[in-house]
Amino acid sequence: MNNMPQEILTKIYQMLVAPLFKLGETPVSIGSIVQLILSLLFVLVLTRACKNVLKQRLLVRLRIDEGNREAIATIISYSFGTLGLIVVLQTTGFNLASLAVLAGGLGVGIGLGLQDATKNFVSGLTLLLERKLKVGDFVELDTLSGYIREVSIRSTLIRTRDGAYVVVPNSKMAENRIVNWSYDGFKSRIKIPVGVSYDSDPVVVTEILLKSAYMEKSVFHEPTPEVIFKGFMDNSLGFELWVWVNRIDREPQIKSSLNFIIEYNLRQQGINIPFPQLDLWFRNPEVFTSSLLSRSNGQDTLQRVHNGQDTAQRVQQELAKKVSKPLAIRDLLRQVTYFHNFTDIELRQLIEIGYRKRLTESSVLFREGDPGDAFYIILSGSVEVFVEKIDKQLTTLQTGNFFGELSLMLGIPRTASVRALEDSILFVINNKGFEKLLHEQPELAEVIIEELGKHQEELSERQEQLRAMGLVDAAEDDKNPVAWVRKRLKNLFSL
């Protein structure tokens, strides 16, 4: 009985070392196969670890760019893996000469079955060695465009603008024509087609288009923007605005911004953008007129009644539309002192950085002492402002009212709580959005400082309040409230 476990272990050992077949002169057993598999897995793990260490640590410290880091790390890890495979085969007792004989016998079959894999592997090595396409490049392949995220043995991983990841075989990347928009940087040229009515002055149109180009932050002043007169179209004079931009991968956003600016500037100058139209000419108009009159005489009275009813219905619909017309955020923003001189283009940027927040009845938006990190406009519904400690209502704010702008701009904690009296929708600009706006519109900071300077007594009170809370940095503190505001804006929003 005591020898039974030992006998079982002995039999298991004999089964593991018993030769199943011979590979050349080398016997192959279950044990040697298991040892080989475990060794190969170990080499694979070490290879991946080697690649990650090189790509994410060592090469980063050497300040090598992302694309070259990927290529160097991949090639070194492949070499390390190949060397590890040879070492494993030798140490486990496999004769490489025997494997070469076997590989030669199966070469035709392997070549036919794995020709695509081999093709992709060789193409991958070509991409890595040539470095015409690197990780981080923005490329366009047929209808696909995106950023190269990884070049592996078999395929290349591309991340599209929409956030999808597309796996493309390396052979397609090596053989097809690919546009690399960021080969030597993201600077590139985009073209904006514009059509204006035939009564427009081409010189004035040129001036407006160039002015619009310089209003967009992403457009380079050198090379200078150009306006191309494309010719006389069916319904308009055709122009193209050519501009060089700093980020070609943001082409849709830049084109959208330029289109907004161009439309606004053309409208300000009274220049129309025509819509496609078709004129119909009759060769014998008198025949058509007499035929139409003969058919309509018998129905004139009834038609007038219908027309009268239709007119009344249209008037009622127009009145209903005017009554139920929602509040425009643009008009509400203009009521805020700091934004009332903004153009439509600047207000559009302000609207873009904001978002809508829905409040259910009785829900609390913020409480006393919370960070002043957002500014709000009530689009629908109403809220109450109250002091929670003494349970006292201070005021009620209705649709169209705004609040919280001073707390946002000066980083002042909330001095009261706000709660929804009914289901409400608020337009919100938070501190991240406001910081983005100040970086895109540096002149806005001075406008805000100028407006705040008109209320120095209130500024002094706010400054004393923050001092009492220990929230005023010694470097920004100043006896002059306006100078203090300027320093505080710079500190809060990294200007």
Of the candidates 437, 442, 449, 435, the one whose C-alpha atom is nearest the C-alpha of residue 494 is 435
The Cα 376–Cα 152 span in angstroms is 49
Q: What are phi and psi of 419, to 5 degrees?
A: -135, 140
CATH pick for 332-493 out of 3.30.1330.10, 1.20.1730.10, 2.60.120.10, 3.10.150.10: 2.60.120.10
The Cα 301–Cα 286 span in angstroms is 24
Domain ranges of the chain: 13-105, 130-180, 188-268, 332-493
Of the candidates 416, 372, 378, the one whose C-alpha atom is nearest the C-alpha of residue 394 is 416
Collect all residues with Cβ–Cβ distance below 8 Å to 302 and sequence separation of at least 6.
Answer: none
Which position has the token pair 């093709």? 119
Collect all residues with Cβ–Cβ distance below 8 Å to 169 and sequence separation of at least 6.
Answer: 116, 120, 123, 154, 155, 156
- The pair of structure tokens assigned to 189 is 């040229």
Residue 224 per-residue DSSP state: P
Q: Per-residue pLDDT tens for 273-315?
A: 888 776 666 676 666 566 655 555 545 544 554 555 555 556 5
* 175 alpha-carbon distance from chain centroid: 30
pTM over 0.75: no
Collect all residues with Cβ–Cβ distance below 8 Å to 254 and sequence separation of at least 6.
Answer: 190, 216, 218, 219, 245, 247
How does DSSP assign 255-279, residue by residue? HHHHHHHHHHHHHHTT---------
CATH number listed for the domain at residues 188-268:
3.30.70.100
Ranges of the chain with pLDDT below 50: 105-106, 298, 301-302, 305, 319-320, 322-324
**What are the CB-based long-range contacts (under 8 Å, 24+) for 392-399?**
396/421, 399/327
Quick one: pLDDT at residue 302?
A: 44
- Under CATH, which architecture does the 130-180 domain have? Roll (2.30)
Which letter, b or e, does each residue of 181-210 get, where b requires 16 or more Cβ atoms within 10 Å of its Cβ? bbeeeeeeebebebbbeeebeeeebbebbb
Which letter, b or e, does each residue of 20-50 get, where b requires 16 or more Cβ atoms within 10 Å of its Cβ? eeeeeebebbeebeebbeebbeebeeebeeb
